[in-house]
Amino acid sequence: MPLWIAVHLPLLQLEAFRPNWLAEEAAVVFEHDRVSAISAPARADGVRDGMRRGGAQLLSPAAHWHERDPLREAALLGEAALALLQYTPQVTLAEEDCVLLEVGASLRLFGGIRALCRKVRVTIARLGLSATLSCAVSAAGAWLLARSGYVRTLRPASMRRRLERLPVALLPPARPHLEWLHGLGVRRLGELRRLPRAGLQRRCGKAVLEMMDRAYGEAAELHRWVEAPPAFHARIELPDRIDHADILGAYAQRLLAQLAGWLGARQLAVKQLRLSLEHERGRQAAPPTELTLALSVAAWQEEHLHALVKEKLARCALPAPAIALSLAADELDAMQAGSGLLFPEPGGSAEDHHRLIELLVARLGPEQVLQAAPQADHRPEVANRWCGVMQDAAALPSPLPGDAARLPPRPLWLLDAPQPLRLHRHKPFHRTPLEFASPPERIETGWWEGRPVTRDYFCAHDAQYVYYWIFRQWIGGEQPDQEPQWFLHGLFG
């Protein structure tokens, strides 16, 4: 059975200029010198719908004034539809600032209709929009219920009961005939349905009956689905000049919500993002600040991408105030299917590990998060070097083939420089005399570099049975009879 979610945006005219997280500021939108949209602070000042411009400016002189821009509203409605593609590929635009989603096939993936509605609300809020949601088994029914303020999940029978209580004025084809209908005492859809269909069609036209039939699920509905563009590039103009990069995180999530919808529709994941912070133009023009975010593993989850971008912005210093943001996906990969394991992996999945590493890199910088890169050398202090964790592990040099299986145990902690040990009764001493716990391991190498090394490594423990990795350094060359020296090189866990 199909199930529809209708997302009605009642404040689209106003939020096309100022997102809802700036709701504490007074703002008014005019259309033909009359008020068409008002923020809550301006309404508290006494501004009302339909008021003339002069009266509104007198009541709320500190408000932000805007002329209605249908093109900006249509663009923002399209951004909302693109962001919602991450929940279902069947998204369509409806009249009067509404987006419709057919989610019958998506319920199991997102944990049911209530959990899906919560996710849709979060996505719409990240776009800076206010919304009223409603669910129904027909698209027109969900659209009518959302515009009237109902937000519940409805079964077919309860949907019909609620539709019958809605005002007739919600039907666009019936509005030109409201005076005649009210004269008949018809003010609700239930009363309108009880009128003779033939007479109602002659008086009001066929469109009224067709829309009622679609709303009640008695007629087929045709839709034009929203399609994701072949490439992703999104841009947003900021309502004010912003001097601090960390404040831009709220606006960046609006772009990331669109990216998540585009990736979901295209079944892709992103490996590199490019966020451009645009600055002043004209005589004080400054080149855009480019922030590149590279991921070790391609991702598409909106929360993860937003956390990385937020950390990146927190470490960025703006050379000039930002007036716009743009986001581009530079490197893409196919979206990987989720794990099919019955039980979760202990310690988290590989994806969780990669997300943690990427978050640390974004917060601390790539030069502060390193990974071990083994090298083909028998000397312990040379057999490893540190490189950036974002570097491809397959491109790193590999150790000597077969060595890992033949080597004796190695300590977890290797000292930066071997620590000399003194002898006590012909035994190496570290806090207490050390007792040998393994036969010697001879390492003799480095002769090709002019620095030959001859060492005998031992596992040893003290009186408390703390295990150490020590070696005996042999001195050759001009002093072959000199007593060997002892060093501490590592500690076992």
With 70 as the cut, is the pLDDT of residue 438 above it?
yes
Residue 411 near residue 490 (C-beta atoms within 8 A): yes
Residue 411 near residue 377 (C-beta atoms within 8 A): no
Q: pLDDT tens across 192-249, in order?
A: 989 998 998 898 889 999 998 898 888 888 899 999 999 999 999 888 888 887 788 8
By C-alpha distance, which of 110, 198, 109, 117 is closest to 154?
A: 117
Predicted confidence at residue 313, as pLDDT, reads: 86
Predicted confidence at residue 425, as pLDDT, reads: 82
CATH label, 4-16+69-215, candidates 3.30.200.210, 3.30.70.270, 3.30.70.141, 3.40.50.300: 3.30.70.270
3-state secondary structure 51-95: CEHHHHHHHCCCCEEEECCHHHHHHHHHHHHHHHHHCCCCEEEEC
Question: Strand pairing partners for 374?
Answer: 384
How many Å apart are CA 297 and CA 354, to the nearest integer? Answer: 7
Please tell me the CATH code under which domain 233-339+347-363 is placed.
Answer: 3.30.1490.100
Predicted confidence at residue 477, as pLDDT, reads: 46
With 90 as the cut, is the pLDDT of residue 314 above it?
no
Give SS3 for 480.
coil
**pLDDT band per the 50, 70, 90 thresholds, residue 379:** confident
Q: pLDDT tens across 20-67, in order?
A: 887 778 899 999 889 999 988 899 999 999 999 989 999 988 889 999
Predicted confidence at residue 226, as pLDDT, reads: 93
pLDDT greater at residue 91 or residue 408 = 91
In this prediction, residues 448-463 reach a mean pLDDT of 85
Name the pairing type of β-strands 64-67 and 370-374: unpaired
CA atoms within 13 A on the CB side of 78: 12
Q: Residue with structure tokens 């596992």?
A: 459
How many Å apart are CA 44 and CA 417, to the nearest integer? Answer: 71
With 50 as the cut, is the pLDDT of residue 479 above it?
no
Q: pLDDT tens across 302-312, in order?
A: 888 888 888 88
Ranges of each domain in the chain: 4-16+69-215, 233-339+347-363, 369-407, 413-491
Q: What is the mean pLDDT of the chain?
A: 85
pTM to 2 decimal places? 0.73
In this prediction, residues 468-473 reach a mean pLDDT of 92
How many Å apart are CA 380 and CA 353, to the nearest integer? Answer: 28
Predicted confidence at residue 400, as pLDDT, reads: 53
Q: pLDDT tens across 239-286, in order?
A: 888 888 778 888 899 999 999 999 999 999 998 899 999 888 766 778
pLDDT greater at residue 302 or residue 450 = 302
pLDDT greater at residue 108 or residue 284 = 108
**pLDDT band per the 50, 70, 90 thresholds, residue 478:** very low
Predicted confidence at residue 303, as pLDDT, reads: 86
